[in-house]
Amino acid sequence: MLLCLVLLLFCIFCKNSAAREIRDGCISKHSECQTNFPTGSWRENLWQVDAPCLLQQFFNLNSKSKKSKSKLRRKSTRTNRSTNELKFTEPVSILFIGDSLDRNAVSYACKYFGAQPREYLESNMKSMKYQYCTISRMNFTVANFMSYGVFPPPYWKYAYLDKRSILPENVANETFSHINIDTKRFNMVNFGQDPTIVVVQSYLWDLAREWLVNGSQPNFIPQEEFFTQWLDGVKILLGVVKKRFQNAQIVWRTAPDPKPTMGRNRELTRKMNRLVLEYLKSSNEGVRVVDWSKILLDRNSPEKRPRTHPGQIASLAYVNLVLNIALSISCK
């Protein structure tokens, strides 16, 4: 009996110590697990790695809500701050370079934390939103940046004002120049600093462009050379991003299964995921990976069905993984 009591008190002490560690903005003993993200599963609309690793859950998602499972309910600000939010010990900023999936993820995260996303780079185009928010109480800024893909012009139609030929005049009109020049606008809302973490990917615009330039046939399948050229473009993209953000941690995120439309389907994106992951594993790029595709296919996933834009729960699970990378960096 005495031994059980001692063990119980020890467990309570460990739990309280871990909670203090989390509130202080550091979970150092789990930082390696957070970095590598081993296997996991979905529990109550949260994706968590399998024991003994732990992920800090920055979002409270109520799976028992009467609303649709693709929706979330945010607990009261007071409760949420005490259980989920922490203040990073140093300012943390995350820039997502990608497409509308990343734009939506940033928007969901900002709104969850009670901030309205604002544009830091104005675009004439409705779909090309460059937005950010700063959560001062967390010492945290997050933003998205729209990319044209890794191929040369013509780009996917949403890069053009008329969806055909007229490019916007307020941004650079070549993919890599766009990143080199226009990402500096983010620094203006990030206290003059480059981001701590840059998350990058390029899938859907590349596939849609290939479909478009080949006549937009309903059952079009890219030739094998497309995948070789795409991987070469990804290597260039990573080189450009690493040179532009020399002090940032670069993260590649995989593509979840898309709805089969406009030259995209899950077989194509899964093949592209395999190619880039094999390359990153065999190279010495120092690029971390958020395998969004994998976690959306894990046990009890609320969003296994292919869709053009993952919903709030899936998007916040994605952001949660990146925030855990930021947490592991802050622990060093």
DSSP string, 132-200: EEEEGGGTEEEEEEE---SSPSS--GGGSTTSSSPPPSSS-SSHHHIIIIITHHHHHTTTT---SEEEE
Look at residue 35 and tell me whether its pLDDT is greater than 80. no
Q: Looking at residue 54, what is its pLDDT?
A: 77
Residue range 13-35: average pLDDT?
Answer: 45
Helices (H), the chain: 2-23, 31-36, 77-83, 100-112, 175-177, 184-188, 204-213, 224-244, 266-282, 292-295, 312-330
Give 12's pLDDT tier (boundaries 50, 70, 90). Answer: very low
Bigger pLDDT: 39 or 230? 230
> What is the rounded distance in angstroms from the CA atom of residue 34 to the CA atom of residue 327?
8
Look at residue 158 and tell me whether its pLDDT is greater than 80. yes
Look at residue 164 and tell me whether its pLDDT is greater than 90. no
Give 332's pLDDT tier (boundaries 50, 70, 90). Answer: low
Helix (H, G, I), strand (E, B) or coil at 102: helix
Q: Looking at residue 39, what is its pLDDT?
A: 75
| Fold of domain 12-330 | Rossmann fold (3.40.50)
Bigger pLDDT: 161 or 37? 161
Domain limits, the chain: 12-330
Residue range 106-128: average pLDDT?
Answer: 91
Residue range 37-57: average pLDDT?
Answer: 79
Look at residue 19 and tell me whether its pLDDT is greater than 80. no
Look at residue 325 and tell me whether its pLDDT is greater than 60. yes
Q: Looking at residue 72, what is its pLDDT?
A: 47
Q: Looking at residue 223, what is its pLDDT?
A: 96
Look at residue 29 and tell me whether its pLDDT is greater than 50. no
Q: Looking at residue 296, what is its pLDDT?
A: 95
Radius of gyration of the chain (CA): 21
pTM: 0.86
